Structure 1
Amino acid sequence: MAFRPALLVLFFVTASIVHAQDMYAPKFGEGILNLKGKDSTWSMKVGMQMQFQGFSQWEEEDASFANEQTSFLIRRARLKLDGFAYSPKLTYKIAIGLSNRDISGGSEYTSNAPRYILDAVMKWNFYQNFELWFGQTKLPGNRDHIISSGNLQMVDRSLLNGNYNIDRDLGFQLRHHFKLSEKFVVKEAFAWSQGEGRNITSGNLGGFQYTSRLELLPFGNFTKNGDYIGSDIYREDTPKLAVGFTYDFNNNAVKTGSNQGSYMVTDTGFFETNISTVFIDAMFKYQGFSLMAEYADRTAADPLAKNSDGTLTGDAVQIGNGLNFQAGYLFESNWEVSGRYTNIDFDKDITSDNAQNQYTLGVSKYIIGHKLKVQSDVSYLTMNFSNDQLLWRLQFAIHF
């Protein structure tokens, strides 16, 4: 637990010795501090992200909503460092989680330690449009998850993402892009990773995870990578469209959510099964209007974990599919209204509440884009055999 004070000391010591380097205070939203070596062989941008959230949740009872639960929390608090080393073609990113939600999940597989590290990755542009990534970072999965938590259109991501995303892992990624015509852009990503998620220290269990993603942008690139930014905050002058396809295969996976969820422990060790996840998504933007659509489908060779005698352990892979549609319009006053519909359809052998539908209405005020904003939304959730739920959230976010 001495890590946090040590981190702060390191930060201030670093800041105190940079008189020997080029240093300047950037504009709001472009980092807390920008550093560059005098010989131009390295750079570092220091940033911080914080999200403060309050929410109330009710459960339907006797044709009315009751059993209110209210809470306040620090949804995210993160320190971010990025820059280049030796050459602008060799870049790096480090993201450290400081809130309890960011570091939760410590277990014997993470040396019984909090999971501080979100990203620790190097990116090497070794030839033309080819880039090799190595370290821990997000896999090239569904669009909603690849969008940074600081750039979300609503208070948080959808139920589809919560149930099917493949998040972060340790390994290698190969990225490439090219043009089919003057405007038509194609992007490819391939990943080979450990298959058990972030901050695992116990060694690889089961097999490896393989992920491939293809993206098509027929009308050219979005302004400032807007295909991975919620809402059309840059107000695209011409229609822009991005369509993505991802296939993920986790060989002999040992977790209920591919590389997420809990370990499937049996009387002899771990239950292993092959898990496949498919994502299809799209983003469209034009003059303040944005539309994002996603589809996910997860299957497993054998989704029900079993002991050596064939009895069920009670663990199961979350197989099924989901749909998510969300749209919004950003007014010139930088107020935005948005809506979302999400459907989750788990396999009936996994849960009786296999069908879930959530309807969400949101409103956002972008004070300085996504760097300083206030967001609120209300959601209505229906399930097969459980009571319907109503959720209201309010969130303030700041991102240096």
Structure 2
Amino acid sequence: MKKILFFFCFSLLFIGNNAKAQLAQNDSTFVYVNGEGTFIRLGKGEGTVINLLSTLQSGAQFGRIDSLSKKTNNTRMSINLARIALTATNARHKVSAGFVTDFTGTSPILEGWIGFDVHKRVKLVLGQKQTQTNNRLAMADERYAQTMAQSLAGKSSDGILYGGLMHNFVGATREGGLFVETNFNIHQMRIYPSLSVTTGEGQNFFTSQPSKQGFKYGGRLDIMPLGDFTKNNAFIGHDLYREAKPKLVVGVAASYNQKASSPIGSETGLITGIFDNSGVATLADYRKLVADFAFKSNGFALVGEYVVSTVNGKDLFTNAAATSQFTPEVASTYYNLGSAYNLQSSYVFKSGWAVDGRYAIIKPEFGVTGSKIVDQKWATFGVNKFLKNNALRIGINTNYIEINSPVAKTKKWINNFAVQILL
């Protein structure tokens, strides 16, 4: 915690080194914008902008589980999101920083990073932030998620928020490491390439790292043939900004996590019992490939996603004597291996009302007993009302989940009601 606070305070100190003098200038401003928070501009010449945005989302969930001829009902109320986000940029020094707290998770710090514009179109970011190697909607800020539901520090405890993709193949949406982001145009076409080298252990950047584990290497390429989207609309389920002209983005992402020690490569030390041919404890490499698209026009949105994950590891065994082979089938009981498809659509009316639907299919690589991934089908329908430029949002959604494992068939109905306030 002390490392994080020192890291971010140093960033802000560098960005606002002339803040006292600028506050006395007539061109410094302090403005609140509905749904976007408070903006503090410290002088036109310096170009320092600080944005403070807080979020509170409360909800109630009603569910029923039908498994092995037994029905179980459950009800719970919770605070889904409780966050304070602070970002700062300085155009003169070409530096930026971000800091996000999360009071609903196991760790209060969700993001902490500093960025440098090494070129007018190239940005270098160091720290913990939203990773770009996941499916498109897992890259969206949870405040703008199509489905409002309970989450845990950038993770989904039941998968509702991301239709099963998050729960099965993503783990944490934030990772710590080094990120390179760039963008350029080819005529009307907008292109966003990015690369990253992270710890491969999710939200653990500010903690000590195991010495024998490798890094996670990843990248993403987004192509927008019809030009750029409004703000961050390319990574939101709804057409929240009602694009005046049709917009399309097609993206691909890939990652290679060396010696992943958790089933999705987002935590530390959860996997044991893998050995090399010398009997030394080791781990397998976790690979993931993502393809997705989003089309938006005048309130209509259509989003599709595909994820597939595999492992790589030669001459691996499940015993120190190196007699029990670590086969792909056995690997599926250690790592989340398989594929998933998600297709969803929504429409936002001019009045702020929005309706949406979603269908997702999750398939294991091998349907063996003990597989981390099992056959699943997810169907969701939701209604939302956006008020005051998204400063206030009220939503309900119903979710049907069908899970077919080798030992049991389970059906779930999960219904959420939530209210979100952005200040």
TM range, smaller chain? 0.7 to 0.9
| Distance in 1, Cα, partners of 2:400 & 2:332 | 29
C-alpha distance 382-27 of structure 1, shift in aligned 2 (>3 A) = same
TM-score (structure 2 length as normaliser): 0.80
1:175 corresponds in structure 2 to 181
1:253 corresponds in structure 2 to 260
1:146 corresponds in structure 2 to 139
Q: Return the letter of the residue paired with 1:366.
A: F
Alpha-carbon distance, 1:41 to partner: 6.6
Q: Return the letter of the residue paired with 1:150.
A: R
Alpha-carbon distance, 1:197 to partner: 1.4
Alpha-carbon distance, 1:29 to partner: 2.1
1:92 corresponds in structure 2 to 97
2:298 corresponds in structure 1 to 287
Alpha-carbon distance, 1:62 to partner: 8.8
2:361 corresponds in structure 1 to 343
Matches within 5 A, 1:92-241: 92-99=97-104, 102=105, 104=106, 115-141=107-133, 142-155=135-148, 156-165=161-170, 167-181=173-187, 183-200=188-205, 201-204=207-210, 205-241=212-248
Corresponding residue to 1:380 among 382, 400, 405:
400
SS in 1 for 2:378: strand
2:152 corresponds in structure 1 to none
| Distance in 2, Cα, partners of 1:343 & 1:279 | 15
Q: Which moved more, 1:348-357 or 1:203-212?
A: 348-357
Alpha-carbon distance, 1:266 to partner: 3.9
Matched residues, number: 373
Q: Return the letter of the residue paired with 2:410.
A: N
1:242 corresponds in structure 2 to 249
Kindly indicate which of the two structures has a greater share of residues assigned to strand.
Answer: 1
Residues 254, 270 of structure 1: 8 Å contact kept: no
TM-score (structure 1 length as normaliser): 0.84
Q: Which moved more, 1:351-360 or 1:146-155?
A: 351-360
Gaps of 5+ in 1: 3-16, 105-114
| Distance in 2, Cα, partners of 1:319 & 1:195 | 17
1:79 corresponds in structure 2 to 84
2:12 corresponds in structure 1 to none
Matches within 5 A, 1:293-304: 293-301=304-312
Q: Return the letter of the residue paired with 2:217.
A: Y
SS in 2 for 1:232: coil
Encode CA deviations 1:322-348: one digit per residue, 9 max, x unaligned: 011110111222111100001111232
Q: Return the letter of the residue paired with 1:30.
A: E
C-alpha distance 255-202 of structure 1, shift in aligned 2 (>3 A) = same
Matches within 5 A, 1:264-283: 264-266=271-273, 271-283=282-294
Q: Which moved more, 1:18-27 or 1:304-313?
A: 304-313
| Distance in 2, Cα, partners of 1:143 & 1:203 | 28
Encode CA deviations 1:148-184: one digit per residue, 9 max, x unaligned: 1111122222211221126222211111111121x11
Q: Which moved more, 1:153-162 or 1:271-280?
A: 153-162
Alpha-carbon distance, 1:18 to partner: 7.7
Alpha-carbon distance, 1:376 to partner: 1.0
1:112 corresponds in structure 2 to none
Q: Return the letter of the residue paired with 2:396.
A: S
Encode CA deviations 1:114-171: one digit per residue, 9 max, x unaligned: x222111112111121111111112112211111111112222221122112622221
Gaps of 5+ in 2: 3-18, 149-160, 325-329
C-alpha distance 132-374 of structure 1, shift in aligned 2 (>3 A) = same
C-alpha distance 245-135 of structure 1, shift in aligned 2 (>3 A) = same
Encode CA deviations 1:213-260: one digit per residue, 9 max, x unaligned: 011100000122311223112222221100110010001211111234
| Distance in 1, Cα, partners of 2:372 & 2:138 | 27
SS in 1 for 2:258: strand
Alpha-carbon distance, 1:360 to partner: 0.6
Percent identity reads 24
1:31 corresponds in structure 2 to 37
Residues 192, 209 of structure 1: 8 Å contact kept: yes
Q: Does 1:391 align with 2:406?
A: no
Residues 305, 316 of structure 1: 8 Å contact kept: no
| Distance in 1, Cα, partners of 2:344 & 2:268 | 26
SS in 2 for 1:351: coil
Residues 138, 167 of structure 1: 8 Å contact kept: yes
RMSD value, Cα? 3.1
